[in-house]
Amino acid sequence: MCQRLACKVTSKDVYELTPFRIIARGVSRALESLGVQVEERTVEFIVSESPNPAYGDYGVPLARFARSHSVGFEELASRTIRALSSEPVVESVKTVHGFLNIRVNAAVAARALVEAYRCEGEGFGMVKSERPLRIVVEHTSANPVHPLHIGHARNACLGDTLARLLKARGHSVETRFYVNDMGRQIAVMVYGFILAGLEDVPSNVKPDHYIGLVYAITHTLADIEQLKRLLERLKAEGRDEEYRERLRELDSLVADASRLRERNPELFDRIAEAIKGRNPEEDIQELMRKYEYRLDSSVVRLFQRLVSRCLEGFRKTLRELGVSVDKWDWESRLVWEGVVGEILEKARLSPYAVTYKDALALNLQPLLSDPSLREKLGVPQGYEVPPLILQRSDGTTLYTTRDIAYSIVKFAETGAQKVINVIAAEQRLEQLQVRLALIALGYMDYGLNMLHYAYEMVNLPGRKMSGRRGRYVTLDELLAQARSLAREEVEKRSPQLPDSVKDEVAKAVGTAAVRYSLVSVAAPKPLTFNVKDALNYEQNSAPYVLYAHARASSILAKARERGIELDWSGIGYDEAARNPLRRALVLHVLNYPYVFVKAADEYKPELLVAYLNRLADLFNKWYTSGDSVVNEPNPAARNFKLALVNVVKQVLANTLSILGVKPLERM
RNA sequence: GGGCCCGUAGCUCAGCCAGGAUAGAGCGCUGGCCUCCUAAGCCAGUGGUCGGGGGUUCAAAUCCCCCCGGGCCCGCCA
């Protein structure tokens, strides 16, 4: 492999050869020569594939520019054609009803691809940013009170994929998990352990699963207790209608409770017995105070022990998913080390400070009267932000207050220029409040450079999930199911493989199927996760792409076996256009650097998924067309095909890796 | 009541931000293809009032307005 500096052709050069860039430059220059300034990006965005191969490969509605800039279409077209004709990668240019179409010279494209591949090897196609940034990606950050489920999985896969993608783009990325150990939910979970008389999770169970059960039992029993008190009061006050309504609520809670009891009757009864005659609400508040103010060292130790145990479970699950986290930030640290106190102090002195409902709050609404700030933050016209309460009357802080402190830490501790928070869309208001609060407190840059990467919920058909009630399908179960289905497939399709390989393939394929389907849908869209569909190993799935990769590997292995060497200096590039299947494949690979850059710069991993589907599709079509590689007698043609397989394999492998999927040599 | 997101083929989704050429995939369904580098594959067929209505435009799935349906948010919860 030659040195990067010695490269004659790089992926960046390939990027500039893609139809999008070529056409954008040509049109932009032609317009410029007519005295009109149009940004290349404006043109680039509307380049599209030609609907009919007779028109060409890619085209752009040129008439629109002629009209909107009052220049003659014929004049503009002829200048654009002149500009594009001098580009070797452009084979021909023509206009068809208002569109300008180009046909790509596949041989020139293929040469560029192969030369860039030879120079960059594994780094092929992953064009480095000219402005590398320090970026923090916070993701997953599940409350440590129950196991990770499918919704957390979407978060983890998006976060991990973004991190890998941005790293590949040349940024320096750190991933962080916000350990929420100070919320009310944690206190409920700890309360359950106290009621059960347990100091730790039994050693024979996965800790997050056990903790999830204790949490659900405790939450449900506490809610029942609370509701019973309310019912008594309603009855006494003769509010019959309300009473009946609440009674139905109680019924449903009792049904949840009995389902929970089935999972561990002994544990359930112990907690139920202990909670009798207590006031759970008061007990839980007391625990929260004891923890936040560190009033009772045994309580503090219990909180920390149980949260740590839950995190152990998370780590195990995430490892199985192929997700890693660089730093685990405990919320409590922010309070105990005084970062939160500083925020409160700053807030008190701030001109935005108000007293709202007798509590310290920030009135953020005035910030929104600045239209440019509004625009930068993407706040809609009539949107009003309610005052943000920072401190309860008992002096304890709130989640959002601590999140403000955390946001500052994420920037300040790392020197990051950008922080991306992968957080559920339902937290939109909270995330906006945090950004506004940062600005109000004098951290303008932080407020503007923090991105809420919002994703919608994952629906499981026919189920309603609830952590508090213990109704969820754990990610562990889902992965196990995916792998077991994959294992059946391997058994069916490749019985000849040794067991150890079958296991490895099944594990990789099952995990890949889950990851792939979770990032395939754009984040702001709700995703319906149908276990069967995700594990339906056909087109549009990880196994389909993995299979294409395995086939490419198989060709190269077969070539090696037969002693066929690739002579890089004897490649017949003209072979690229010899049949439409080869040509289509070359043209699609040519687009890779462009798609990669777009996916990274616009934070759209789903573009990579769509690209991979198409690449695997084109490769499989070519593969099955009978245009054999190893049986090709003509050396120039054989060298071309071998080189193409190498490049395709590399692109498949790189992109799968960005998606956190391990490419397989066989399956 | 106010705000945000989503609505495209029976199902799951691209395309919408940056308006243009007969609206694309996959699954499903029907029918084919293993003496040939892995059939987790390939080929052919089937399927759409782009939620509805109005407007802007030479041109609207895409932009604007109204309405309908689904989800979410508007806590001294997280």
Per-residue pLDDT at A327: 97
| Lowest mean per-residue pLDDT among A22-26, A226-230, A335-339, A351-355 | A226-230
Q: Helix count (H) and strand count (E) of chain A?
A: 27, 14
- Closest to A188 measured CA to CA, from A149, A152, A225, A217: A217
Mean pLDDT of A498-520: 94
A624: burial class by Cβ within 10 Å (0-12, 13-18, 19+)? exposed
Q: Which residue is nearest to nucleotide B15 (CA to C1')?
A: A48
Mean pLDDT of A318-326: 97
Mean pLDDT of A137-147: 97
Protein CA A493 to sugar C1' B67 (Å) = 53
Question: Residue A3: pLDDT band by 50, 70, 90 thresholds?
Answer: very low
Protein CA A613 to sugar C1' B8 (Å) = 20
Question: Residue A476: pLDDT band by 50, 70, 90 thresholds?
Answer: very high
State the nucleotide closest to A392 in CA–C1' terms: B76
Counting residues of chain A whose pLDDT is more than 70, the rounded percentage is 98
Within 10 angstroms of residue A231's Cβ, the number of other Cβ atoms is 16
Protein CA A450 to sugar C1' B14 (Å) = 29
Per-residue pLDDT at A395: 87
Question: Residue A6: pLDDT band by 50, 70, 90 thresholds?
Answer: low
Model confidence pLDDT, tens digit, residues A286-318: 999 999 999 999 999 999 999 999 999 999 999
A384 has pLDDT over 90: no
Protein CA A139 to sugar C1' B9 (Å) = 36
State the nucleotide closest to A378 in CA–C1' terms: B4
Protein CA A457 to sugar C1' B29 (Å) = 31
Bases in strand B with any atom closer than 7 Å to a protein CB: 2-7, 11-15, 18, 20-22, 24-28, 36-43, 58-59, 70-78
State the nucleotide closest to A430 in CA–C1' terms: B73
Within 10 angstroms of residue A39's Cβ, the number of other Cβ atoms is 10
Q: Which residue is nearest to nucleotide B11 (CA to C1')?
A: A533
State the nucleotide closest to A497 in CA–C1' terms: B38
How far is A170 from A175, CA to CA, in rounded Å? 15
Protein CA A624 to sugar C1' B36 (Å) = 10
Q: A395 and A292 in contact (C-beta within 8 Å)?
A: no
Q: Which residue has the higher pLDDT, A443 or A667?
A: A443
State the nucleotide closest to A602 in CA–C1' terms: B17
Average per-residue pLDDT for chain A: 93
Q: A134 and A416 in contact (C-beta within 8 Å)?
A: yes
Protein CA A45 to sugar C1' B62 (Å) = 14
Tokens 């303008």 label which residue? Answer: A444
Protein CA A53 to sugar C1' B46 (Å) = 25
A537 has pLDDT over 70: no
Q: Which residue has the higher pLDDT, A242 or A351?
A: A351
Question: Residue A463: pLDDT band by 50, 70, 90 thresholds?
Answer: low
Q: A492 and A559 in contact (C-beta within 8 Å)?
A: no
Mean pLDDT of A199-204: 96
Per-residue pLDDT at A106: 97
A462 has pLDDT over 80: no
Mean pLDDT of A190-215: 97
State the nucleotide closest to A381 in CA–C1' terms: B3
State the nucleotide closest to A96 in CA–C1' terms: B21
Mean pLDDT of A352-376: 91
Protein CA A53 to sugar C1' B47 (Å) = 25
Per-residue pLDDT at A661: 95
Q: Which residue is nearest to nucleotide B74 (CA to C1')?
A: A386
- For residue A296, give the DSSP letter: -
